[in-house]
A and B are shown apart, each in its own frame.
Chain A
Amino acid sequence: MSSFHTLSLTELAQGLRARRFSSVEVTGSFLERIERHQGTLNAFISITREAALAQAAAADRALAQGTGGVLTGVPIAHKDIFCTEGVRTTCGSRMLDNFVSPYDATVVSRLKAAGAVTLGKTNMDEFAMGSSNETSFYGPVKNPWNTALVPGGSSGGSAAAVAARLAPAATATDTGGSIRQPAALCGVTGVKPTYGRVSRYGMIAFASSLDQGGIICASAADAALVLREMAGFDPKDSTSVDAPVPDYVGELGRPLKGLKIGLLKEFFEKGLDRAVEQRIREALAIYEELGAQLTEVSLPHLPLSVPVYYVVAPAECSSNLARFDGVRFGHRCENPRDLQDLYRRSRGEGFGPEVKRRIMTGTYVLSAGYYDAYYLKAQRVRALINEDFIRAFKSVDVLIGPTTPTPAFELGAKTSDPITMYLNDIYTIGANLAGLPGASIPCGFVGELPVGLQVVGPHFSEARVLQVADAFQRQTDWHTRVPKAFA
């Protein structure tokens, strides 16, 4: 059977447990697809064929003994921001081109414990800084729907891999939209949990107060299955929350009758592509048919989210990336003359231009005399945005709107103008600033390009967000569409 890629992750997990096929077969089939399309899509930075097949063989033995877990034998990919023991972990940067992690991130070890097999590490924007995957040291990922277009970013490799069915699931991270935006642009389902729901331990930090690990799958049902294994308190991450993880899979399928959906006024104002808006309105009509009520809500401070984000995130990144100094790991320049030379050249050579831009911006906003005007003020506005959301969730259960203002754009179209690139995250950043869970699901096409529908819920409402996404997917088949070249 060579059509494993046409099965959903849930079906693969069930088939493996029922021993209808082996993990070695499934894993081998996905590895073959990855290798076949790597030249076209560049979705992976590392393909761990041998280790994957060894893990698959071990999974098959466990399945034969009946000792497997929920995901035993299911192959998945990890965004190259997650540390993987014994496997190169680059974060998309020359700085870590030679870095083999000595340990597993908590997300990686939890998925391993659940039995998942690792296919490889997916391409990404350098240190997760980018919205198009063009800042990767390993070259851009191509959008499977049209390889002249970007897949979105920073989790572009994970989104493209799932869209082209090179993997049934790929882990991802979201600091300002890095799961939801590429999921939208690639026509797949991406879930960013509440800040603190998934451990950040072993996830290379970009902006610690915003970063959150999540998952990209074909459907919300698949995402629920994987997220249930990833989520939960981790004593190694002080910001992870010690609260029980609901059975996301078991909670699916509840009727939506009476669900109050808020439409963010600010999301439907200027900048939103007409055709994208049309797809969103059509999706909302389906929710109404399912018994949901629509209300317009306003978050007055939300338009400030992009400027706030581009103060807070660079500030944290400027400090988080200080450890890459050429002393203990990562890139070190040749023959440093002295300490200053070692620092300057190692960092100068190791980091790309977007990372440098953000380190410099962040250093500036934290410096004496500017801290109050930028960083402190941004944090105050961030608190106001959070209050806006909390107020909105007093009257609605979830907020629904577009994930991005436009479908995927051409490679190189926005690289010369960082601000235009930054504005691509205008609808997604708010959830990061407030730490809210959100998902993007495919809701139709503009031309041949997928459009993403965004669902955002109150803190720790992943079960509700997944229900709402899954209910839509029970009525539509957008999430099952695969670009022709990868069908």
Chain B
Amino acid sequence: MSAWETVIGLEIHAQLSTRSKIFSGSATRYGAPPNAQANLVDLGYPGVLPVLNAEAVRMAVKLGLALGAKIAPHSVFARKNYFYPDLPKGYQISQYELPIVAHGALEIVLEDGSAKRIGVTRAHLEEDAGKSLHEGLPGVTGIDLNRAGTPLIEIVSEPDLRSAKEAVAYMKKVHTLVRYLEICDGNMQEGSFRCDANVSVRKSGAEKFGTRAEIKNLNSFRFVERAINYEVERQIELIESGGKVVQETRLYDPDKGETRSMRSKEEANDYRYFPDPDLLPVELDAAFIDSVRKGLPELPDQKAARFVKDYGLSAYDAGVLTASREYAEYYERVVSVVPESPKLAANLVTGELAAALNRDNLEIGASRIDAGALGGLVKRIADATISGKIAKEVFEAMWTEGLRADAVIESRGLKQITDSGAIERVIDEVIAKNPGQLADYRGGKDKLFGFFVGQVMKATGGKANPAQLNELLKKKLAG
């Protein structure tokens, strides 16, 4: 493998969460009956004209600023001409030569913990197409134009990504960013966030890029990773067996886990781009851009840096906690209850809470334990009322029964034993019951220490303060 280097560029399509379409007043809600949200403009009726949705422009500017990109004072909508039944006008309105956003970048964290800057070539506004329906329509194809005219921003990366893992990390980062900015709901199942991956391989150290294949319409992080890995292997095998990669568009089949050819470059359309004469150029002045900048929220990287600095978290934990705005906000509400224990709070939020949410397939907003209650649990760990281990039991009870931490501790008698005398008594009992093990331990079998700890914990129902137990046990065993 190391003889080859993978080169990947992603084109991410994020659906902007405007209420109406980019060039018409139709609603953009997901899941409406076919063609219920398609008016005459969306249907491309004779004589109708597009009118640009100002909110879509504002959202694109937000993204551009968050990417540290250049916002074009003058950008132009163009027509991309091709025939397809789900494209009512016979052209897609998109931005071609003069996109609204150019020359941005964002940082991803690699597996070894180091940061890598990924260039964003451009981001442009465009309208989505409709979709063809085949299910339940034998012999014919149905067309649903509800999605036609939905605003998209296409975010095009530089070919800076070097592995499927990097590609996924980058896509996740963009996913986080668009949700922070509240410009896209990020729902990948509904197609609100998807990407095309341009993949090529070259001999390690080579300067020229290899011929690339474009894998279309990947709508999950898992598919992105699998499709790229499959494609990389396919290309390497092809070249090593004397073949040549052809420039083409490929589709990923998630059932078979492979990519297959859709159309080659020769079959590719000549899109005959030209500026759309129905739309004026988008002119943005500095005052407008400034007003958008002032309205930007704290961005994920800024928030993560603040978590490291203010709460003493690791970069990794800070990254996990800031992966979504809601998640970060939840964490900060927990910290506000126990400002003295931000690390402990982070452990619980990224540990027990994340696992429980994941298990029950819930978003943070639907957590069964609110931030205040979780703060109460953290407090009891911090003040040594319970141990970390007991905390897991308390958490489960809180999660399933909706109780506060103190109520669980009280009703189940889980309060930690911190009375040295009480712990000593139990140790004495355990030692008395296990003379053989004691002799072995004293004879040099240090490993038996764990056995004694276990026995004491068992006898106390896990409530003995671990630190105290360790110290007292060591003393007693030594004789």
Contact = CB atoms under 8 A, between A and B. Distances in A.
Interface of A: 82-83, 89, 91, 96, 99, 101-103, 105, 200-205, 207-209, 235-239, 315-316, 318-319, 321-325, 327-330, 339, 343, 363, 366-368, 371, 375
A91, A102, A328 pick with most chain B CB within 10 angstroms: A328
B45 A329 contact: yes
A368 B45 CA distance: 28
A322 B46 contact: no
Interface string B42-55: 01111111111000
Nearest to B272: A366
A447 to B, nearest CB: 40
B279 A238 contact: yes
B170 interface: no
Contacts of B273: 366, 371
Nearest to B81: A319
Nearest to B84: A339
Contacts of A102: 40, 45
Interface in B236-275: 270, 272-274
Contacts of B463: none
B270 A368 contact: yes
Given A235-B51, A366-B81, A89 B272 contact: no
Contacts of A315: 274
B278 interface: yes
B316 interface: no
Given A238-B279, A339-B85, A366 B47 contact: no
A20 B371 CA distance: 81
Interface in B164-218: none
Given A83-B46, A208-B277, A375-B274, A323 B51 contact: no
B47 A204 contact: yes
B83 interface: yes
Contacts of A239: 277-280
B146 to A, nearest CB: 14
Given A103-B40, A204-B46, A343-B83, A323 B272 contact: no
A368 B48 CA distance: 28
A322 B81 contact: yes
A205 B48 CA distance: 9
Contacts of A343: 83
Nearest to A196: B280
Contact of A83 (B47, B85, B89, B277): B47
Contacts of A322: 81, 83, 89-91
A316 B47 contact: no
A325 B44 CA distance: 11
Contacts of B274: 315, 319, 366, 371, 375
A325 B270 contact: no
B50 A238 contact: yes
A113 to B, nearest CB: 18
Given A208-B278, A339-B85, A367-B272, A319 B91 contact: yes
17 contacts: A82-B47, A83-B46, A91-B46, A101-B47, A103-B45, A201-B49, A205-B46, A208-B277, A319-B79, A319-B90, A319-B274, A321-B90, A323-B88, A328-B45, A363-B272, A366-B81, A368-B272
B143 interface: yes
Given A209-B277, A239-B278, A319-B79, A325 B90 contact: yes
B77 to A, nearest CB: 10
Interface in B47-91: 47-52, 79, 81, 83, 85, 88-91
A335 B91 CA distance: 25
Contacts of A208: 277-278
Nearest to A321: B90
Given A103-B40, A325-B90, A339-B85, A205 B270 contact: no
A312 B91 CA distance: 17
B193 to A, nearest CB: 29
B47 A205 contact: yes
Interface in B458-475: none
Given A202-B47, A204-B47, A368-B270, A238 B280 contact: yes
B460 to A, nearest CB: 76
A315 B276 CA distance: 11
Contacts of A99: 46
A238 B81 contact: no
Contacts of A325: 83, 85, 90
A367 B272 CA distance: 5
Contacts of A321: 90
Contacts of B47: 82-83, 101, 105, 201-205
Nearest to A342: B85
Contacts of A89: 46
B49 A367 contact: no
Contacts of B270: 367-368
Contact of A238 (B83, B91, B272, B278): B278
Given A207-B277, A367-B272, A368-B272, 13 more contacts: A202-B47, A204-B46, A236-B49, A236-B51, A238-B279, A319-B272, A322-B83, A323-B44, A323-B46, A327-B85, A327-B143, A328-B44, A367-B270
A235 B52 CA distance: 11
Contacts of A324: 46
Contacts of A202: 47-48
Contacts of A238: 49-52, 278-280
A105 B49 CA distance: 11
A267 to B, nearest CB: 27
Contacts of A235: 51
Contacts of A339: 85
B79, B89, B274 pick with most chain A CB within 10 angstroms: B274
A167 to B, nearest CB: 22
Given A83-B47, A89-B46, A238-B279, A323 B52 contact: no
A361 to B, nearest CB: 13
Given A236-B51, A327-B85, A96 B277 contact: no
Given A237-B49, A339-B85, A366-B272, A323 B90 contact: yes
Contacts of A101: 45-47
A295 to B, nearest CB: 34
Contacts of A316: 277
Nearest to B44: A323
Interface string B306-344: 000000000000000000000000000000000000000
A375 B273 CA distance: 11
Contacts of B280: 238-239
A12 to B, nearest CB: 29
B49 A200 contact: yes
A328 B274 CA distance: 25
A339 to B, nearest CB: 7
Given A204-B47, A238-B50, A328 B88 contact: yes
A209 B273 CA distance: 16
A260 B280 CA distance: 33
A366 B274 CA distance: 7
Nearest to A328: B43
A433 to B, nearest CB: 13
B288 to A, nearest CB: 18
Contacts of B45: 101-103, 323, 328-329
A346 to B, nearest CB: 11
Contacts of A328: 43-45, 88
A339 B52 CA distance: 31
Which 7 pairs between the two chains have the least Cβ-Cβ distance? A322-B90, A209-B277, A366-B272, A208-B277, A202-B47, A323-B44, A204-B46
A439 to B, nearest CB: 24
A6 to B, nearest CB: 35
A375 B272 CA distance: 11
A243 to B, nearest CB: 14
Contacts of A330: 46
Contact of B46 (A318, A319, A329): A329
Contacts of A203: 47
Contacts of A91: 46
